[in-house]
Chains A and B, each alone.
Chain A
Amino acid sequence: SQQGEEDPQALSIQEGENATMNCSYKTSINNLQWYRQNSGRGLVHLILIRSNEREKHSGRLRVTLDTSKKSSSLLITASRAADTASYFCATGRGSNYKLTFGKGTLLTVNP
């Protein structure tokens, strides 16, 4: 069964606004990662948060992790049109370095 599930499935905002995407998962994890995918392209790694961390920042990105609720959120502040993409969460389990991806959130930032 699917491990990660993003919410919302699609989000449309204006440039300059903040965008928040959520991810829920079902089983225990070692870490949770967020990736971005521009249309028709491969995935680009954004940020990794480990199971013993609660919050992490990278530039305009802020990720939180609540292991008790099995959920994570990705906040993009001061969004730009170039942030338009699909965003996926991926959970890493065990020591086998495999990731399980959610269905993604399609973010559209309107200029």
Chain B
Amino acid sequence: ELKVEQNPLFLSMQEGKNYTIYCNYSTTSDRLYWYRQDPGKSLESLFVLLSNGAVKQEGRLMASLDTKARLSTLHITAAVHDLSATYFCAVDIVRYGGSQGNLIFGKGTKLSVKP
């Protein structure tokens, strides 16, 4: 059974600081996604990582994937209040002979950025 573990689950940061969220998964996969969810809202796609060594950056967020270590990281640089949200990683299980499979989500990391 595929397990996806995120840590930390809760993160309180001060503005301007850097931090990293970790996502470990238990089986082979070369597709990993990061999503953001604001309170009471739906999920917004942040990054799609499709190969070992993939690195994507958008603003103050940078995501990377190490498929050999089964680890993805989401690095936050110089945090600002607007980044406060819950961040989910999700790993793809490819099934059905070539079509995209199902995503197994981590439990999410609730990030709070304080002035």
Same complex for A and B? Answer no
Interface of A with B (CB < 8 Å)?
Answer: none
